[in-house]
Chains A and B, each alone.
Chain A
Amino acid sequence: GQNIDQPTEMTATEGAIVQINCTYQTSGFNGLFWYQQHAGEAPTFLSYNVLDGLEEKGRFSSFLSRSKGYSYLLLKELQMKDSASYLCAPLLRTGANNLFFGTGTRLTVIP
């Protein structure tokens, strides 16, 4: 079966740095996506890692370790608008491109 483990909720201060961890066990793995989802809206793409290491994109960075089944999303210089759910989604099978979503981490940014 598939399993994703992320913290359910996190709180951080505006301007700070926060790291959201994700561990996964999946049958088949072809990379991992991070999506941001504001309440009542559809997810928006943040990052995709297929190789081990850190991918940096502006204030957001994502790290992957395939051998450890581990990824994290790093958000720098937090802004109030970053309050949202962050979804870790392994890509299971290249043929069907199935993404498997966990329940996500609800991040609240406080002043």
Chain B
Amino acid sequence: GAVVSQHPSRVICKSGTSVKIECRSLDFQATTMFWYRQFPKQSLMLMATSNEGSKATYEQGVEKDKFLINHASLTLSTLTVTSAHPEDSSFYICSARGAAKSLSYEQYFGPGTRLTVT
């Protein structure tokens, strides 16, 4: 099946610094990638949708200048949390969708990145 990886799996950073999270589709080309955030015991909240080669579409309430998304290739999207603060500590999960799959709307999730801002 389709595999999506994320790196790093865990990261601890100091308040005010920036952190980059990578999401890669390993065995398929992902025309669309999604970034979610999940706080403990809460649902996955969609942050943004990115299509390869174009600007990301952010959900209401998500600051695009704080959460920079780049989807420069069909296998890689990055999320950069700029000037991170403790309230940004969360589980960040990416998912990817290919252009031509038998189940065209299925999203394949990465393993997630646990960000802790101290």
Q: Which residues of A contact B (CB under 8 A)?
A: 30-31, 33, 35, 40-45, 48, 87, 91, 94, 96-104
Contact = CB atoms under 8 A, between A and B. Distances in A.
A43 B43 contact: no
B97 interface: yes
- The B contact surface, by secondary structure, is strand
**Size range of the chain B interface in the assembly:** 20 to 34
Contact of B44 (A40, A44, A96, A101): A101
Contacts of A104: 43
Closest 3 pairs between A and B when the two form their complex, measured CB to CB: A42-B109, A101-B44, A101-B43
B19 interface: no
Contact of A48 (B32, B34, B106): B106
Contacts of B112: 40-42
A104 to B, nearest CB: 7
B109 A99 contact: no
Contacts of A44: 109
B77 to A, nearest CB: 15
Interface of B: 32, 34, 36, 41-46, 49, 57, 91, 93, 97, 103, 105-112, 114
Given A48-B103, A97-B97, A43 B46 contact: no
A43 B94 CA distance: 10
Given A45-B107, A99-B34, 11 more contacts: A40-B112, A42-B109, A42-B111, A43-B93, A45-B109, A48-B103, A91-B105, A94-B105, A97-B107, A98-B46, A101-B36
B38 to A, nearest CB: 9
Contacts of A30: 105
Nearest to B41: A103
